[in-house]
Amino acid sequence: MDILEISDVAKSFGNVKVIDRLSFSVPEHSVFGFIGQNGAGKTTTMKMVLGLLKTDAGEISVNGEKVSFGQTDTNRFIGYLPDVPEFYGFMTPAEYLLMCGQITGMGKKESREKAEELLKLVGLKNADKRIQGFSRGMKQRLGIAQALLNSPKLLICDEPTSALDPVGRKEILEILHSVREHTTVIFSTHILSDVERICDRVAFLHKGKIALEGRIDKLQDLRKGDRTELEFCTPQDAGRFASLLEGCVRLDPVKIRIINKKESDMVGILNILAQNKIPVRRLERLEPTLEELFMEVVA
């Protein structure tokens, strides 16, 4: 089942078309990366999903129910983490989550139990100081706990790691990956390495449209194994090999890259090495990265 369906959605601000007939869907219990450059329309799309912005055309459905601007019934299925979450700094994280639980109609006992469970999940179980003293990473973790408070079917995170240091990013990504058993995660980002680490599906947003979408492994298969890199023991060995095979690119004195036109090209490379007794320190088939795929679709 698709937990989120966006069909033929358009949105303009004045004469500027930000979203242009956008369509994609997010399967349940997936981690979905919504990728785009800054200003590509990622946050605008998220706000339309939340019913905070009116679409000019098209439909959005969450858990099979249509999203209506200003009537946010579908938000009972959603947990939301904005790029810069705000809190009451004078509260402790437990106090804040207890307040949020009561606002959403949860009883005190249920709110307290859920808060304890989530603070443990995000690594803030023993953080009983005031939120105003939290680091950016700690605030992001608390934001995830708050977004998960109502046990949502869809967790939306808008640029959750963009301002964090490497340790903070790693922590947030691990948390998002761990909750996929209980919810579906969609997060917008321009940090492609984060997507490669935890996502199983992605959509590239470019000029208001989806330029490429699908499972990461399937997208990588589009260009899988199209390059081979060899590192030789000496520059002389690299030169001998390059003289025997067309299409070699010298990266440095001992490294050569070859663009493979077909799978059988690897056999020819190995034959040349064996027949001419050319020693090689490293031979590697290079996997395409999301960054390379993204640069291709936005070029």
* 103-117 mean pLDDT: 88
Q: What is the pLDDT of residue 190?
A: 83
How far is Cα 45 from Cα 164, in angstroms, rounded to an integer? 23
Q: What is the pLDDT of residue 262?
A: 66
Is the pLDDT reported for residue 225 higher than 60? Answer: no
Mean pLDDT over the full length of the chain = 89
Which sign does the torsion angle of CA 60, 54, 16, 46 carry? negative
* 144-166 mean pLDDT: 90
- The strand pair at 31-36 and 201-206 is best described as parallel
Q: What is the pLDDT of residue 180?
A: 85
* 113-139 mean pLDDT: 90
Residues 171-193: tens digit of each pLDDT = 889 999 889 888 999 988 888 88
Q: What is the pLDDT of residue 212?
A: 87
Q: What is the pLDDT of residue 286?
A: 78
* Cβ–Cβ < 8 Å for 258, 201: no
Q: How confident is the model at residue 222 (pLDDT cuts 50, 70, 90)?
A: low
* 210-236 mean pLDDT: 83
* Cβ–Cβ < 8 Å for 63, 3: yes
The secondary structure of the chain in percent helix, strand, coil, rounded to multiples of 5, reads 35, 30, 30
Is the pLDDT reported for residue 6 higher than 60? Answer: yes
Is the pLDDT reported for residue 121 higher than 60? Answer: yes
